[in-house]
Amino acid sequence: MKTVGIIGINGMVGQKLLAEFQKIKTPFETKTFGRKDDITPLDIAVLCTDNPDSRVLAQQLKDKVRFIVDMSSEFRLEKDVPLVIPEINPQTITADTHLIASPNCTTTGLVMTLAALRGHYTPLEIFFCSYQAISGGGKKLLEDFHAPGSLYANNCVPQIGSIQPNGYTSEELKGIFETRKILDLPDVKVYPHTVRVAVENSHSLGVTAKLDKPADLDEIKKRMNAFPNLKYTDDIITPKQASGQETTYACRLRRDLYEPNIIHYFITFDNLLKGAAMNARQIVELLLEKF
Ligand SMILES: NC(=O)c1ccc[n+]([C@@H]2O[C@H](COP(=O)([O-])OP(=O)(O)OC[C@H]3O[C@@H](n4cnc5c(N)ncnc54)[C@H](OP(=O)(O)O)[C@@H]3O)[C@@H](O)[C@H]2O)c1
């Protein structure tokens, strides 16, 4: 029987992934590893760890593990590493693949909605402002949020990740470059603004997209609803409702008042599920079925 390991079992994503594994129908054996455990040879290892740790672990496991799925941003933009959302680009995993990256949570929700339009509309420019949940920052940030005097309590903080020399945050740069790679649109212009808000779970984004032709709102809603794990609703939907759900929700779709090619909408989705553990579980399912 194939063995699948969760490395970083004590973190937020590791714990969610353990629960997600219950949904996999193909039989396999689960192994879990914390920081102090020796990792045994595995068929698949999911690294639920942060950047420097993931690179060290991937190197250590190179000859011990057939497939590595990494949740961190460490390898996402490397040319030979597929950056995979199974609803969008499963074909980027081939028999030669060893390392697979799972995308940034905010980017995942965004590209789910834009991939749904493929074949009919191509986005030329994408602006988004994010309202990102505390759980997206891992267990330490969640502890900080609940501690007295937290900066994040009853607040919104316009910095996620580190500020780069060009003034962008590292989270904003992920939104640009990961979107281009996943949608295979190397020239699409992405204008991100990322903000942490006092919401415990589920990320939201206000999105403005300029399309290659005038927008037909009914067509866009139809395409979003035909896309797996995505739902458009004319109701108002909030992160509270998206929490614990596998669905990425879109609402408030409207055409720009000045430009018929421009649409505006709101999305919300569980960052720990579709933004992380559910996406990893789907990649593991794909690997177990296909290879
Ligand atoms: N949270 C999200 O919504 C989200 C979404 C998408 C992607 N991600 C990415 O997923 C990864 C995990 O995020 P998270 O939110 O779960 O962070 P987290 O709550 O901080 O958990 C990270 C875990 O990794 C463990 N760890 C570190 N080095 C290790 C090692 N060498 N061996 C085994 N375990 C090790 C830590 O162990 P200790 O408990 O001993 O410190 C901790 O339990 C990060 O790269 C993050 O960027 C997170």
Query: What is the spatial distance between Cα 163 and Cα 237, in angstroms, rounded to a whole number?
Result: 31
Which residue has the least CA distance to atom 43 on ligand 1?
11
Instruction: Determine the pLDDT at residue 123.
Output: 98
Q: Do strands 262-269 and 189-193 pair parallel, antiparallel, or not at all (unpaired)?
A: unpaired
pLDDT at site 88: 98
Torsional class of 138: left (φ above 0), alpha (ψ -120 to 50), beta (otherwise): left
Could you tell me how many residues make up the chain? 291
Q: How far does residue 282's CA lie from ligand 1's centre (Å)?
A: 19
Nearest-CA residue for atom 29 of ligand 1: 35
Amino acid 46: pLDDT: 99
For residues 164-184, one letter each, b for 16 or more C-beta atoms within 10 angstroms of the residue's C-beta and e for the rest, the string is eeeebbbbbbbbbbbbbbbbe
Record the tokens describing residue 281, joined without a space: 């579980």
What are the pLDDT digits (tens) for 53-64? 999 999 999 999
pLDDT, tens only, 241-276: 999 999 999 999 999 999 999 999 999 999 999 999
pTM score, two decimals? 0.98
Residue ranges of the chain whose pLDDT lies below 50: none
Identify the pLDDT of residue 49.
Answer: 98
Q: Which atom of ligand 1 is nearest to the CA of 139?
A: 19
On the CB side of 129, how many CA atoms lie within 13 Å of its CA? 6
Q: For 198, what's the count of Cα atoms within 13 Å in the CB-facing half-sphere? A: 9
pLDDT score at 31: 98
pLDDT at 45: 98
Judging by beta carbons within 10 Å of its beta carbon (0-12, 13-18, 19+), is residue 17 exposed, middle or buried?
Answer: buried
Query: Rounded CA gap, 171 and 17, in Å?
Result: 23
Query: Given this model, what pLDDT does residue 221 score?
Result: 98
Q: Whose CA is nearest to atom 42 of ligand 1?
A: 11
In the chain the domains, ranked by start, together with CATH numbers, are 3-103+276-290 (3.40.50.720), 106-270 (3.30.360.10)
CA distances from 175 to 19, 170, 220, 251 (A): 28, 9, 22, 21
Instruction: Identify the residue whose C-alpha is closest to ligand 1 atom 21.
Output: 11
Residue 287 is predicted with a pLDDT of 98
Pocket of ligand 1 (CB under 6 A): 7-8, 10-14, 33-35, 48-50, 53, 57, 71-72, 105, 135-136, 138-140, 271-272, 275-276
